[in-house]
Amino acid sequence: MNSHYSRIAGTGSYLPAKVLANRDLERMVDTTDEWIYTRTGIRQRHIAADEEKTSDLALQASRKALEAAGVAAADLDLIVVATTTPDMVFPSTACLLQTKLGARNCPAFDVQAVCSGFIYGLATADQFMRSGRFRNALVVGAEIYSRILDWNDRTTCVLFGDGAGAVVLRRDRTPGILSSHLHADGSYANMLSVPGTVCGGKVSGRPLLQMDGSGVFRFAVKALDDLVEETIAANGMQKADIDWLVPHQANIRIIQASARKLGMSMEKVVVTVDRHANTSAASIPLALDEAVRDGRIRSGQHVLLEGVGGGFTWGAVLVKW
Ligand code: ACO
Q: Which residues surround ligand 1 with Cβ inside 6 Å?
A: 31, 35-36, 39-40, 115, 154-155, 158-159, 192, 211, 213-214, 216-217, 220, 248, 250-251, 278, 308-309
Expressed in angstroms and rounded, the spacing between residue 191 Cα and the centre of ligand 1 is: 14
Are 184 and 313 a contacting pair, CB within 8 Å?
yes
Spell out the per-residue pLDDT of the chain, length 321, in tens.
568 999 999 999 999 999 999 999 999 999 999 999 999 999 999 999 999 999 999 999 999 999 999 999 999 999 999 999 999 999 999 999 999 999 989 999 999 999 999 999 999 999 999 999 999 999 999 999 999 999 999 999 999 999 999 999 999 999 999 999 999 999 999 999 999 999 999 999 999 999 999 999 999 999 999 999 999 999 999 999 999 999 999 999 999 998 988 889 999 999 999 999 999 999 999 999 999 999 999 999 999 999 999 999 999 999 999
CA nearest to 109, candidates 129, 137, 133: 137
> What's the CATH fold of domain 5-174?
Peroxisomal Thiolase; Chain A, domain 1 (3.40.47)
Contacts of 267 (CB under 8 A, 6+ apart): none
N-term to C-term CA, the chain: 22
Number of continuous H segments (helices) and E segments (strands) in the chain:
10, 15
Which CATH code, of 3.40.30.10, 3.40.47.10, 1.10.1740.10, 3.40.190.290, is assigned to 178-320? 3.40.47.10
Domain boundaries for CATH 3.40.47.10 within the chain: 5-174, 178-320
For residue 312, which of 113, 157, 161 has the smallest C-alpha distance? 113
pTM of the model: 0.96
Counting Cβ atoms within 10 Å, is residue 191 exposed (0-12), middle (13-18) or buried (19+)? middle
Atom number of ligand 1 nearest to Cα 308 = 51
